[in-house]
Structures are given as structure tokens and as C-alpha cells.
Structure 1
Amino acid sequence: MPGQTLTPRESAILAAVERRLSNPEIASELFISVRTVESHIASLRRKLGADSRAELIAAAGERREASVRLPDTRFVGRETELAALAALVDAHRCVTLTGPGGVGKTRLALEFAARRHGDRSPIVVELEHADPDDVVPRIARALDLEAVTGADVTASVAYALASHPYLLVLDNIDRVGPAVQAAARRILRDAHDLRILGTSRTPFGDDAEHVFALEPLAVEGADAPAVTMFLDRLSAHGVPPTAGERELAARVCARLDGLPLGIELAASVSRHLGLEELAARLERDFAALDRAAPRGRHRTLETTFEWTWDLLEADEREVLCRLAALPRAFDVDLATAVTHEGAEGVLLRLLDHSMVVPLGGTPRRFRLLAVMREFVRARTDAATIREVLERHAEYHERVAAEFIAHARTDDSREAVRLSARLCPDVNAALRWALAARHPTARSLATSLAVGVEQYGSDVDSVRSISMAARDGRVRAEADARELMLLGNSIAYLDMPLVDELAERALEIADDDASRLAAHHLAGLAAAYLDRGPEALEHLAVAERLARELGDPWQLGAAHQMRGVALRGASLDDPAAAMAEFDAAMRAYAIAGDAMHVNNARFMMASVAARTGADAERAARWAAECVDYATRAGNAHELAHATLVQQTLGVPDAAAPLEELTGEFRRLGDARCLTRCLLLGADRAEGAAAVALLEEALSFADSAGDRTHQMAALTRLVEARRAQGDEMGTRLALGRLDALSGAEAAGA
């Protein structure tokens, strides 16, 4: 009843009633008379408004449920985990929620307990500040068991818990794991209907324990739970976000890896900084995530992680510091390479401590959450970080070189997947090697170049290769073949740079093999820059040398680049270009390079689609390219084929134009992105068409793509004129005049 409190003795008697003990049994347990028990029960009925013993039992359960103290904030994004936890508690007698600090283990356990799973009455015991000897007494106090001198407290606890289907929640087990293990083993032996739900960064290790690893909230998708939680907390702090701030909120949540404590802290700080400034500061570090209350290990992320850091052994800290120095995720082999042989066991212990989280994949990969990584790096000396990055670069130099040795003839899905996994790691290693002027830079750059060309690019990798190609040390040390590999891979993005590499290759070529590479690269540069006659001269030399050296792959490459030159505006001979692409396909087939066979077929389809001479055959070739790319899992080749389908207006193209445009942005293929933008402009009107043409011109300018510069400018003249924009029309005409001469502008 409101305002009524129970005395300690009344609480103990009510707990005994809940356990279905009779009055004599209660008197015996508490060493009091039956008359005293009856008197206390009468008082309990009055205070709790219970007319019968059954109502007293129900009131006891309600009081226990009410004792589960939940935060006032809304519970967001864990309904799936609640359902999974319910199934685990049904199937297993002891379940431990594990996960890194701040991931929400306690909140999930309390929510589960408060919702009273089935007939189970919750009993919550907080163990954060417990000593090993205090574990069982704390459970006893939660059960309102009176201490009796000389009694076996564990036996009393087990007896009490056996009387009813209880859910015993043991929160923050970390520091008392062995004591919890000993107590749980004995209690579960006697309390057959009991379920134990623990929370801990580290499993306590009993045979009966079933571990449920709790992950951070998802940050991807329109209704990402992490973003939903963040927006909710912002509103609770009196700073409701505007409609335009949702993207900022998603950035903040992604930076925090969806860690609920980080999201709570960020929402609290946003009152003072605003969302835009907070997002900018989080990009640098997490120092702003602090608050005055509550004090203790949840005040900041640092205090949360220190709680676990203090429990680590010396070898665990050493290995963790080295893993935190890595730029990206890692597998066991890489972890061993940057630590020491036999470190696998330490890595597994760190996983148990929730300091490292699994990512899945084969082989299994792992990472540190961004906030955890920064915490550990702050405790790692600079010399160790440099040593780890050097080992990381040397490891990937070796792995990448072994991989690309077979890249030209292996177009399997497995190879494509491995390339996608290796590419970001090699890219990170290359960027470090360039900054550190480390000798691995040249080898990493050429390996990455082959991977990008053969299995599909990404914009970050292409930019890294461009950085290497501009690096004076790399360019000075590279031979003609290596310069050719670099040039091939950045032809998507920066043709003026490819032209520079070709000049350097021609200067240093000193034997037939290097002259072949140099003339191929010079022919490629001239072809894509629409210097047709010059391209044919270089490619004639390359073809002759390829035949003399018996190199079918280089022969195919010479034919393919000749086709590129012949389709350009300066030569404009589509039939001859098609014949060269056909010859390239045959040579590539002899070399065993199925990907380049498909790439040459795509170019044939592209020429046929552009000229409109044979749309039916172009559509068939494009469909064959789609089939190949889908089987191989090659996203870049699939995008190429889809571009032909969109050019032809195929109704069931593999992807819509807008999606295709985004894909070429991701791939870093400026030339094909420009084509997509021009195609989009053809289908748009007014200001929308002008915007697409301006963007297409920008990409064509940056890539040095003269053919598409002219195409974009010609259409811009017409689009600006159609809008009545005389000044814009004159500016476009002036640029067209400067680029291609008065004749083109006059026309």
C-alpha cells in the first residue's frame, strides 16, 4: 500500500512465503515462534492489501519485479536480441551476456528481467563492487534471507532459489568470475528450475554457461537502431534534430561504431556543442565525450575501458597495443605477423575479454571498435606503432605479390573476393609506405595496380596508386614494366599522369621487354587522349615486340588499345576498331585471361551501341558481358556491361542509371562516370540537364578526357542556349574553342 514500508523481518518472512514455506517452516528457518510468524503475516496482509496467502505470494512477485530499476530513457533497437535471449534462457540454465564496455549488457538484462519471462520472478544482484567472498551473501540479501551464525549460506540460497522458478540476474561478473562459477555450480545443482542470467565482458567459464555475445547497435540503413537511439536521446536532452541533421546523426553513430554508451555521451555533449561541431570533433578524437554525471566507470568511454584494461595480463596488453596499431581489421595470420608466434592464444583471450570483436568471413577477421582502438593507441608508444605498421606493410607486400602472380589467369569468384578483401589492406599499407618513404611502396603500388585492373577498382585505391605514380622516389626506382602497370590502373582517373609515366618509361627502356611495356603505355596514353596517329605508331612497335617475345597477353593489350585509338574522334573508324577488339579477344583467350576477353567484348558492344550500326548485336554482347561478370562476381565488369545496356535503352538493364552512376563513383572510374552523367543529361531537361553536364565536364577535365570534354561542352552550349543563358552559352563556346578550335565552336 502507498506509504507502507516493510521491516527487514517482514521482508524475510514475505520472501519465505513467496517460496511457499509454511508458517512452521518459516519459524524454524528464522528461529522464531510460529505465533511471531503469524503476527508478521497479519501485518504483511494489511500493508500489502492481501486477503490470502496466494495474494501475498503475488504481491511478493510484484515487489520483486518493481525492484528491477530501469533507466528512464527509452529502450531502443534490441527487440531481436530480447527474443533471442528468451530462447536461450528457455534452453540453457545459465546464460552470460558478453560484449565490450558500453555495449548495453546491463540494460538488456534488466529489460529482460523487468518483462518477467514466463512465470520467472527476477532477482537482480549487482556485483560491480563485490569481493569474491561477498558474492553469495549479496545473493542472500537479494532474497531477503536472514544471516544465521554458522549456517551454510550457499545451501540456504540454493534452497530458497529451488522453491520457485526464479531468474537470477548477476550483473557485472567480471571481477568475481571464479566466485560466481563456484556459486553457480552448486546452486544450479540444487535449484533445478532456476535460470541464471549474467552480464560480463568475459565469460566466467562454467560448463553450464552459454555465452550470448552482444554487438553494438547497427548503424547502416534508413531505420538503423543506432541512429534511432541517438535521435531519441537528442530529443530527451532538449535538442531535437532538424530533418537535415539526420545525415550528421548517422555520421556520429558510424564513428562511434553504434556503441550505446558512446551514443548516450554524444547526445549529452551535443547540448553544448551542437551536432555539426560534435561530428567534426569526433572525426579527430573522442575527447569531447565526457559528462559530469553519473560518476564512475560510465562517465566517459575511457573510464569504461579502463575497467577492463586493469583486468588484462601483461602479455594481453602488449598484443592488444600491437593490434590497435593496425590500420584495419585483421585475421589470425596478420595478428601473428605483427606480434609474435603463438599469439593466437592471447588473441582468443582478448576476444573473451571483449576487447576485440569478430567480423566473420573466411578466414575469420577481427577488429577493435574505433573508440577502443583510440583508447589503446593512447597507451602505446610511437616506436611500437611504427614497427607494427612496417610489419603490416611487409606482410601485405608478400601476400599481394603472391596473389597477383596468378591474377591474369584466375577470374574465379574466390579470387575476386580475395582481391576485395586484400585491396583496402594493401591500399592502407601503400599510403603508410609512401608517407614513411619505406621501400615497400613501389611493390605495393604495382601489386595494387594489377588487382585494381584485373578484379575491379575502388576510388581510394586508384587515388593511392596515383599518389605512388607521382612520388618521385617510386617513379625514379620503377622500371618500364612497373610504370606500365601503374599507368594501366589509373587510366580510369588521370590520363595526363599516365602520359607522364609513358614518357618516363620510354626514357628508361633498355631491352625488348621494357620497350614493349613502354610503347604499350605510350600507345594507351595517346589512344585515350585521342592522339590517334601517335597511338598507332607506338602500338605497332608494341605488337611487333609482343610477337617476337611470344607474349600473347601483351599482343592482346596492343590490339585492344589500337581499338581504343580507332574509335576516337581523331581516327573515327568504328569498323576497324571492332576488328581490333575481336583480335584482342582471341589473344587474351590464348593467354588465359578471361576477364580481358570480356573487357574487349564490352568495348565492341560499346562501339556498336554508340554508332547504332548493329544495336541487336550490341545488346547480345552486353548480355554476355553481364552473364560473365555476374558469374565471376566482378562488379566493375558488370558496371561496364550495364552502361552499354543503358546506352541502348535495354528495358531490363542490370541496374538503373542512377544506381550505375553511383557504382562508377565508388569504382573511381571517371571515364565511365562521365558517360553515365552525359547519358543522364540526355534524359533530363532544363537545370537538371545543365547540372549533369557541368559535373560530367568536371570529371572529364580532371581525367584529361578530351573526347568527353568536347561532348560535354557541345551539349552545354545547346543546354545553356535553350535556357536563354547567353553568358553561360558564351563561356561554354569559349572553352570549346580553346579545346578543339574555332571550327568545332563555329559549328
Structure 2
Amino acid sequence: MGGSPASPRLTDREREIADLVAAGLTNVDVAARLGLSDRTVDGSLQQVYRKLGVSTRQQLTAWLREREAAGLPAPLDGLIGREEDLARAAALVTAHRLVTLTGPGGVGKTRLAIQVGRAVGADFPGGVHLVELSAVNEPELVDDAVVSGFGLHLDGDRPAHRIVADRLGQRPALLVLDNCEHLVEASALLAQRLLTACPGLHVLATSREPLMVPGERVRQVAPLALPAGGQALTEDALRHHAAVRLFLERAEEAGGALPVGPGDLAVVVDICRRLDGLPLALELAAARTRAMTPAALLEHLGHDERPGILTAGYRTAGERQQTLRATVEWSHRLLSEPEQVLFARLAVFAGGFDLRSAQAVAGGEPLSPAGVVDLLSRLVDRSLVQVGAGSTGEPRYRLLDTLRAYGRERLGATGGAEETSRRHAEHHAEVLAEPMLTWSLRAAGEMREQMDDVRAALAWSLANAPELTTLICGRLVGYWGRHGPIGEGCQWMDRIIERLPADDSHRAIACANGAWLAQRHGRFDAAERYAQAELRIARAIGDTSAVADALTRLGDIARNRGRFGEAVAHAAEGVAMRRGADDAYELALALVVSGSALGRRGDHDEGRRQLEEAADLFGTIGESAGVALARGWLCEVAIRMGDLPLAAAQLAQSLRTYRDRPDAWMVANLFDLAAWLARIQDDPTRALRLAGAAAGLREAIGAAAVPALAEPVERAVRESRRWLGARAEEAWRQGVGAGPEQAITYALRETDWEAGAKAVRDAATGGLTGREREVALLIAEGLADKEIAARLGIGRRTAEHHAEQVRRKLGCSSRTQVAAWVVQHDLTPDGER
């Protein structure tokens, strides 16, 4: 889920002029509308052309239209037979603030909604934001999913609709809220609140039933049109009926045997009628033409397996599902018994999964982990499991939502749901225990792919095995705290702590993790409450290590809240306890807290000494991230001491480590320190860019600034704004919009701002041209050179040349490696991320 990617940095005035030009106004009209001179408009428009890489008004209009739809996935194939639906739905969305597309499962509501969003994107300067609710299983998580769809995070007790309203203001924006049927009440309530709070927001929802919100306009998405019974049609006319055309095109894509004569087409028409023209049912059936003729397909359907008739109405989802259910059950009956067992067990996955996960979760008796390999391949061949490249280049599998729902029903009917869900939760607990999971860049990408299933494992274990939930969250807390969303982690920790016994050791662990996350989220009262609870439980059960941990944590919270005397006292007690134990890592952590608190209190020399000791201890045990942590806070002490060379040296060493072992919360603090340092060195532009980068990074992960650092950083920002005057806002916006890679490079003074931005763009695109990016994306989809040529309307030799250039520039020796690179770098057609 996510909003539109960042655009090139147009000023507010340039964006205003660009929007008016795209709306068809001449330069003279724009000047009159905005009260500007013709010359000013001409000059600003040339700046817009230069920044966007366009040269005509038509190109500018096309760029803006594509940009406003950039938050939506690009379609992988054409939308067949939905021209009228697309036009009418687009008109409804433009004219009304809440539109719901309803219809049976598998009818294509999601695909239609995405196309509508792309079609009307230019009408919504605030962007088109897609939120998929299919993996959200609990009503209370809908708010977080929607806020995340706007690129935001829940913030304490602030309601979701207020967070979104603060971001959008009056700007027109479109929210595509997909798959609402299982959370219809929560979706309806939030939609109503959002529409009330955000005057420019429009909502396009998909559901098997209306949301029943005042002002809602409902558009029923019907099955694809079918030839009427007994109607005499030519062969050409038959081929152009939407349902028939969809079946034929998907059969061709699957490499199936296509009908060639009128008699064969008649069989296809019968198949389409038996399947009621439902797109998903047709696509599943068309995939079977790899192994059987259309006549054989029709034979397997049989007259007694005719799908049920669709029924209109608000509360008829069960009956409407029967049509698709007939197709799914038919596909299921064609499976062998071991294949059926695997299919049902795989339905426990909420998102994608790799082979190892499939073996661990679904490989129990009567199957075996080794046997899963062949069975999974068969399910892929039968189009019951989808496969694509993951972030590592290895295959990742997934079930379509409708098939997953049916599989879970079968799993429950066979009595295997409890055991499979347990294996699923235990497997993800094991995955999270792997070294470096929360630190490495590659692992962070893998975690993002697995988060839907991690959430499913948490939800199941919370209801059935709270101790397992504590274990999973304990292993996940580092990921949440360093990569976000921190607010989601806090929500899970709150729920876990509520359910655990008051004086249980598991509760002490959960309180420790909850305190760590809550502090990073800015919930200092909750953090302190949890740390006090950890201390009380630890003392009650006689766990001296946990007592030392709680004391250090209380010191950490106090030092960040500005209560330095209290912080020093707690931290000193923690240090004393750790010196009596053989644990260099924990002692070093305690010294970091103590040294930083001393430095903030004004005991600079002792604070520096303790932080240097902590860095040395971390270094002796090979903890480079710990060294970076100690050096980062030593930078602050050095600034307070007035030793600017020492501060700059510590800052640089810390940032270089966090490049490879990212901790976004700590990096944001380092950007604040760099901004403070830049202001002292009379570089206000640099100060504002770096402070803006800190703010942008915190917003991205849902983190809060450290109160004890707020005063000097806010002063640096105020003074820099006063110094720069009208130029200040541009410097701030540059920082907020920069990614961490560019900001780190800039903070290290390795390059200037413009060169850094270009380097990041080049790294993001591998130096590929626009056409080469398109080819790389199609390679990642699994298309051959011939198919790429057809998709892009170019010659096959040209496609082969582009593919070779892509491999050469990216340093890849195979198409699989290209696909992995595309996923790892989140490549998009325009090169932005």
C-alpha cells in the first residue's frame, strides 16, 4: 500500500502554473488568473519544462496525468469488455465523493477501480492512494491500513481521519479502498469520517455489498457480456464479445490450444455461459487449455456443475459467491489428494511465501517437505498458485484472494486449521530469529514482503498462544523500531501486554520491548509506565539482569525527556550492576545512556569518557552498530563542549556505519545533530536541508523527535529561516523530500546537494534510459523479448538490444538477476521511487 511517489521539486507557484496549463489555459490566461506578468509565467513554465524533462504543453499534460496515477500499480494486461463501466465509474468518481463498485467475487472490481483511478488521476492533485484491505483481518487495523496508504502513520491517540486531513488540507485527492466486504462496518465508518474531515477527498470503494454511507453512489459491476442464447452471430462477432475475447486472449497467453472454427467458438461460448462471464472464472478455465481442449473443458464442467445464477441485492454476498465457487470447486476437484492437502494448507498464508516457508508450514503428514516442491509446481501449473520474483530474486508464491478463502474453508472442514496456523506462527517466529534480520538492507526488503503473514501469525498467536506472540514481537521489535511503522509495533505491544499475567516473566519482556518502541514513537508516558512495570516484575522474580535493563531504560527515557539528574541516577545504577556481570554489550548500552545523560547535564568530560568507553566495548565484541550509536551521541556531547572537529568526526563515523546497518530513528537524530552543527558553522541552507531530512525520515517511519534535542535544533531552524528569508522554505522542502541515501551523502560532505540528488537517481535506475526501464520492468514480469516487443510496439531486434543493454548496465548475467534488481530497487517506469 502507498501514495504517489515524490515528484521533481516544483515550487508551489510552478505547480500552480503547470496545473493551469494542463487544464488548457494559455500563458496569457494563466497570468490573468494568478495576477502575474506574462513574462513571469513564460519563465516559470520554462523552469517547469526543464525540471520535468518535457518540451511541450502536451507532454506536460501527459506527465501530470501519469504522475497523479503513480500511486497505483501499472496494469499487466488489458481491461477487456469494461469500456462502459470505466467511463461511467470515472464520471461518478469525479461527480460524487463516495462511489462503491459492487459485484460478486472474481468479477474484476479491483482491476476496474485501479483503471478508474489512473483515468481520473489528473483531477486529483493530492494524488490517488490505493489501500488494499484483503490482508487486514481485524476492524481495528483498518485505520492503520488507510493511514499507511497515504504514506503516513498513526500518531498516539490522534484519529486516522485527522492525520489524513492534516496532510491533504483542501487538496482534491482520491482514496481507492479495495476489498471492504469483510470489514464493511469499519470501512464505512472511516470513509464517512474521512469525507467529513477532508473536503477535497473522494473515495472509490470495492465491496461485495454497499457501505451504506449517506451520499454513497453504487455502481454494480456485472459479469462480462455474453452472446444471447439462440442469437445467430458471425465468427467475428463472437470473437469480439467481451467474455469470449477474454477467454481467448488468456488461453493464448497460457500457451493453450486455441479454437479455429465456428464449432470450436461455439464450445467457448458455452464455457463462458457456464461460468456466467466472470473474469476470474474465465481466466482459471482458460489456463486449463494448456492441458485440454475447450471441448474437454466443457465436458469437465458438466451440466450438473452449472454455476448458480447471480443475485442482485445488498446482503447477498453468499449467493453471489456461488458462481465463482463452482469454478473454484471444479478446479479443486481436478487436483490429486496430496495437491488438495497442500492447496488448503497454503491458504493459511495471508500474503506471498517462498518455497522454504511452504515446506515448513505445509509439509507435515501426510505430506513431506521434499514432496512439497513437486506439488507446489503442479499447483502453479494449474493456476491455483501465482509465482513471481521476490526481492532476493528467488520465486515467491501467492494465492488469489478468492482461492485463499476457499482453501481456508477446506482447511477448516478437514480439521487442519489449528495445526497449520500453529506451524505458520511458529515458522515466522523462527524466521524472525535469524541473525541480522533487523539490520541488513536486504533483510529489511524481505521483511516487507512477509509483513502480512507476520501480522497473521501475531493475530493467531495472540488469541491462541500469547507466549508465542511475545516471542514474535520480541524478535520483530527491532525491525519496527528501526524501519517502521513504529506505531503498528506499539499497537501490538499494547495488546500483548494487556493479555499477559501481571507478574509473568513474559510480561516483563513485553514491557521492555513496549517501552523501547513507545519512546521512539514519542509516547514517553507509556514508555515510562512499561519500564516501571518491567522493573517491578524483575525485582519480584529476582531477575537481576532485567532489573539492570529496566534501570537503564528508565535512565534512557529520562535523558530524552530532559530530566537529566534522574537519568544520571538510574543509568549509574544500571552501569554499576552491569560492571558486576560478564556482559560487555549490556554494559556498553548502559554507558551510552549514562554518558549521554551526563553530557546533556553539563558533565561533558565524564560524559565523553563514558561514551568513548562504550564505543571501545562495542568494538571489542564486533558490534559496529553499537559503535555507531555511541559515536552518534558523542557527537552531541562534543557540540555541547564546543569541540566542533570532534563532533564532525564522530558524526561522520556514525553515519557511515548506518548506511549499511540502517536505523532510521537514529539516523534522523544524526541529521538533527548535523543541522545544529551546520547552523553553528553559519551554513543556514545546509542546516535547513538536514533538519528537513530528519523530519521527513521520522514521518516515514512514524517516529518522534527527541525532546531533549528539540531546543537547540528548533533554534537552529528558526535562525536559519530568519537568515535565508524567502529561500528558507525551499531548502526545508528539499530536505523533507530527500531520501536517506541522498541526505547521508550530503551530511558527510561527500557531494553537494544537486550532485547527491543525481547520484541517488542514477542508483535508483541503474543509469537506465526511460525505454530501458520499461524493458527491465517487463523482464521482471517474465516476458520474453518477443512479448516485450509486442507490448511496447517495437521490433523484436530492438527489444533484444534493449534487454542486452539492461543486463550490461545492471551487471546482470541473466533475466532472473534483472528481475531481482528491479524488485530490490523498487524500479518504476519514470525512475522515481
Q: Normalising by structure 2, what TM-score?
A: 0.46
Q: Which residue of 2 aligns with 1:310?
A: 330
Asked whether the equivalents of residues 480 and 489 of structure 2 are also in contact (C-alpha less than 8 Å), the reply is yes
- Shift in Å at residue 343 of structure 1? 1.9
Residue 320 of structure 1 pairs with residue 343 of structure 2: yes
The answer to whether the 8 A contact 1:218-1:224 is kept is no
Please state if 1:621 is matched with 2:650. yes
Deviation at 1:547, TM superposition (A): 1.3
Candidates 234, 237, 258, aligned match of 2:88: 237
* Counterpart Cα distance in 2 of 1:384 and 1:683: 64
Gap regions ≥5 residues in structure 2: 1-65, 119-172, 184-205, 210-219, 227-271, 285-323, 730-833
Counterpart amino acid of residue 489 in structure 2: V
| Residue in structure 2 matching 1:440, options 439, 448, 468 | 468
Structure 2 Cα separation of the partners of residues 522 and 412 of structure 1: 28
Q: Distance in 1 between matches of 2:71 and 2:666?
A: 29
Amino acid of the residue matched to residue 88 of structure 2? Answer: H
Q: Deviation per CA, 1:354-402, whole angstroms, max 9, x where unpaired?
A: 332224244532222445534544655376444433221111223333x
Provide closer, same or farther for how the CA distance between residues 237 and 372 of structure 1 changes in structure 2, counting only shifts above 3 A: farther
**What secondary structure does 1:330 align onto?**
coil
Measure, in 2, the Cα distance between the counterparts of 1:638 and 1:491: 16
Aligned-pair CA distance for 1:678: 8.9
1:366 aligned residue = 397
- 1:664/1:670 contact within 8 Å kept: yes
Q: Specify whether residues 292 and 548 from structure 1 end up closer, same or farther in structure 2 by C-alpha distance, changes over 3 A only.
A: closer
The one of 593, 611, 631 aligned to 1:561: 593
Which residue is 1:602 aligned to?
632
For the 8 Å contact 2:496–2:510, the answer to whether it is kept is no
Aligned 8 A contact 1:331 1:364 in 2: yes
Match of 1:225 among 67, 74, 92: 74
How does 1:60-209 map onto structure 2 within 5 Å?
none
Q: What residue is the counterpart of 1:294 in the other structure? A: 225
The residue number in structure 1 matching 2:621 is 591
Task: State the alpha-carbon separation in 1 of the partners of residues 182 and 175 from structure 2.
Answer: 11
Question: Which letter maps to 1:343?
Answer: V
Query: Tell me, what secondary structure is at the counterpart of 2:642?
Result: coil
Counterpart-to-counterpart distance in 2, 1:323 and 1:525: 44
Give the superposition deviation at 1:473.
0.8
Is 1:466 paired with 2:493? yes
What residue in structure 1 maps to residue 779 of structure 2?
none
Q: Deviations over 1:8-34 (max 9, x none)?
A: xxxxxxxxxxxxxxxxxxxxxxxxxxx
SS of the residue aligned with 1:439? helix
SS of residue in 2 equivalent to 1:343? helix
Q: Deviations over 1:167-218 (max 9, x none)?
A: xxxxxxxxxxxxxxxxxxxxxxxxxxxxxxxxxxxxxxxxxxxxxxxxxx99
1:350 to 370, 373, 379: 379
SS at match of 2:180: helix
- Verify the 8 A CA contact 2:90 2:116 in the aligned structure 1: no
Question: For residues 107-144 of structure 1, what are the alpha-carbon distances to aligned partners after superposition, in whole Å with 9 as ceiling and x for unaligned?
Answer: xxxxxxxxxxxxxxxxxxxxxxxxxxxxxxxxxxxxxx
Q: How far is 1:433 from its partner? A: 1.9
Are the counterparts in 2 of residues 234 and 240 from structure 1 also a CA contact under 8 Å?
A: no
3-state SS of paired residue (2:516): helix
Contact 1:642–1:655 (CA under 8 A) maintained in structure 2 = no
Q: Whose Rg is larger?
A: 1
Residue 525 of structure 1 pairs with residue 557 of structure 2: yes
1:398 aligns with 2:430: yes
**Contact 1:639–1:664 at 8 Å: present in 2 too?**
yes
Is contact 1:301–1:371 with CA below 8 Å preserved after alignment?
no
Q: Structure 1: how far apart are the matches of 2:418 and 2:687?
A: 49
Q: Aligned partners of 1:373, 1:680: CA distance in 2, in Å?
A: 52
**Contact in 1 for aligned 2:520/2:665 (Cα 8 Å):** no
Normalising by the residue count of structure 1, what TM-score does the alignment of the two structures yield?
0.51
Change (3 A) 1:277 1:264: closer
**CA offset at residue 241 of structure 1?**
6.7
CA contact (8 A) 1:269 1:291 kept: no
Residues paired across the two proteins, number: 459
The alignment status of 1:496 with 2:525, answered yes or no, reads yes
Does the 8 A contact of 2:328 with 2:406 survive in 1?
no
* Structure 1 CA distance for aligned equivalents of residues 484 and 116 of structure 2: 41
Distance 1:629 1:654 in 2: 21
Kindly, what percent of the aligned residue pairs are identical? 20
CA contact (8 A) 2:328 2:403 kept: no
Computed over aligned residues only, the root mean square deviation of the Cα atoms, in angstroms, reads 5.0
Pick the aligned partner of 1:513 from 532, 545, 552: 545
Listed one character per residue, the Cα deviations across residues 443-494 of structure 1 (whole Å, up to 9, x for unaligned) are: 12222234555x6443255224532563241664235566434433432023
Q: Is the 8 A contact 2:439 2:479 kept in 1?
A: no
The alignment partner of 2:351 has SS state of: coil
What amino acid maps onto 2:458 in structure 1? L
2:462–2:496 Cα contact (<8 Å) kept: no
Say if 1:567 and 1:466 are closer, same or farther in 2 by CA, change over 3 A: farther
| Superposition map of 1:570-585 within 5 A | 571-573=601-603, 576-585=606-615
The amino acid across from 2:500 in the alignment is: R
Cα 1:292–1:505 change in 2 (3 A) is closer
Does the CA-based 8 Å contact 1:528-1:564 persist in structure 2? no
Structure 1 residue 598: deviation in Å?
0.5
For residue 448 of structure 1, what is the amino acid of its counterpart? L
Aligned twin of 2:660: 631
Contact 2:675 2:686 (8 Å CA) reproduced: no
Q: 1:668 is matched with which residue?
A: 702
1:330 has 2:364 as partner: no
Query: Which 10-residue stretch deviates more, 504-513 or 459-468?
Result: 459-468
